[in-house]
Chain A
Amino acid sequence: MVMRQKKNEPIIIPMEFKVACSLYKMDVAEVLQVFIDHVKVYDIFNKTYHEGFSEACHCLIFCYRKKKKSRILSTGMRKCRELFLRNMGQIELLANMKRRGWKTTTKRSYTRCFVENIFNAMERLHAPSDIIYLDEYSTLKLSKDFCMLCEVYDCYPKEFLEYFMGYISVADADVGYGLKGYSNFVHTFFLKIANGLGRNPHIRIELTDWEIDFYDRLEELRLEVYIIRDIQRKVETLRDFYRTHYQTMNPN
Chain B
Amino acid sequence: METTIHLTLSEDFETLCSIYQIKPEYFVQQFINQVSLPEYYSSPSNSNRWGTLFFLQFLEVELSHYDVNRELEEHYLDTFDQAMQYNYDANPASCETSLTIGRNIMRQWLKIVLAERAKYITDSL
Contact = CB atoms under 8 A, between A and B. Distances in A.
A and B co-occur in one complex:
yes
Interface of A: 178, 220, 223-224, 226-230
Interface string B65-89: 0000000011001101100100000
B81 A224 contact: no
A224 B49 CA distance: 11
Interface in B46-79: 49, 53, 56-57, 59-60, 73-74, 77-78
Contacts of B44: 220, 224
Contact of A226 (B49, B59, B78, B84): B59
B43 to A, nearest CB: 12
A190 to B, nearest CB: 22
A229 B56 contact: no
A229 B75 CA distance: 9
A229 B84 CA distance: 14
A228 B85 CA distance: 11
Interface string B28-50: 00000000010011001000010
Given A220-B44, A220-B49, A224-B44, A230 B57 contact: no
Contact of B60 (A223, A227, A228, A229): A223
Contact of A223 (B53, B73, B74, B81): B53
A224 B41 CA distance: 8
Contacts of A229: 73-74, 77-78, 81
B53 A226 contact: no
A103 B121 CA distance: 63
Contacts of A228: 77, 81
Contacts of B41: 224, 227
22 contacts: A178-B60, A220-B44, A220-B53, A223-B56, A223-B60, A224-B40, A224-B41, A224-B44, A226-B56, A226-B59, A226-B60, A227-B41, A227-B77, A227-B80, A227-B81, A227-B84, A228-B77, A228-B81, A229-B73, A229-B74, A229-B77, A230-B78
